[in-house]
Amino acid sequence: MSEAPGDAIVNSFLVERLGDVSISCRKLFAVIVREAYYGPIHPKNQGTATPPEILEACGLDVGEFYGLLEELKRAGLIKVENSYPFEEIQLSPEAVEARWVADRCAKIGQQLDNAFVNLNFPA
């Protein structure tokens, strides 16, 4: 596992919950993290992704997207604010450490999929 700010290890919540969801959900989670913090749509709230930008980035059809989104919500990894068509997707408070993981991946040149899909968190 990885060390996070303050020498904490990547929290077991994030690791366990990602391990409990499908590979497709993990891939979608990686896209959500990328779009929430580094996506091209501005202005928007920091740490927020929108369905249009996620759908454009991941290539899923709308039905599959919403099914995977529900799985991520049930796992407690994300929360969805507002109603269609103004949904805002954010990491759950328990999963915000994914931001640190994404920043660390960017710093060392590791793909987000390697961390979130393969559960190979950067050191």
Question: Would you state the pLDDT for residue 9?
Answer: 52
Question: Would you state the pLDDT for residue 123?
Answer: 79
Whole-model pTM above 0.85? yes
In this predicted model, what pLDDT tens digit does every residue of 14-50 receive, in sequence order?
A: 999 999 999 999 999 999 999 999 887 767 788 999 9
CATH domain 3-116 topology: Arc Repressor Mutant, subunit A (1.10.10)
Amino acid symbol at 111: Q
List CB contacts of 91: < 8 A, sequence separation 6 or more.
32, 33, 36, 47, 77, 78, 79, 98, 99
Distance CA 37, CA 47 (A): 5
Q: Which residues pair with 80 in a beta bridge?
A: 89
Count Cβ atoms below 10 Å from residue 51 Cβ, excluding itself: 19
Amino acid symbol at 85: P
Q: Is 47 left (phi over 0), alpha (psi -120 to 50) or beta?
A: left
